[in-house]
Homo-oligomer: A and B are copies of this chain.
Amino acid sequence: VKLLTLARDLQRRKARERQGLFVAEGVRAVEELLRSDLHVRGALVSAALMVAARGKALRETIETREIELLELPERDFATAAGTDSPQGVLAIAEVPRRTFESLGLPAVARLLALDGVQDPGNAGALLRTAAALGVQATFALPGTVDLWNPKVVRSAMGALFHRPALSCTWDELGRFLRENDVGAWGADSEGEPVDAIEARDVPARLALIVGNEGSGLSEEARALADRRVRISLSSDIESLNVAVAAGILLHHFRPGAKRP
Contacts and interface: CB of A to CB of B under 8 A. Distances in A.
Interface of A: 121, 125, 128-129, 131-134, 157-159, 162, 195, 231, 233-234, 236-241, 243-245, 247-248, 251-252, 257-260
A128 B237 contact: yes
B132 A237 contact: yes
A237 B125 contact: no
What is the count of identical protomers in the complex? 2
Contacts of A238: 157-158
A200 to B, nearest CB: 13
A202 B140 CA distance: 38
Given A236-B162, A244-B125, A244-B244, A258 B134 contact: no
Contacts of A129: 240-241, 244
Contacts of A121: 121
A132 B259 contact: no
A134 B234 contact: yes
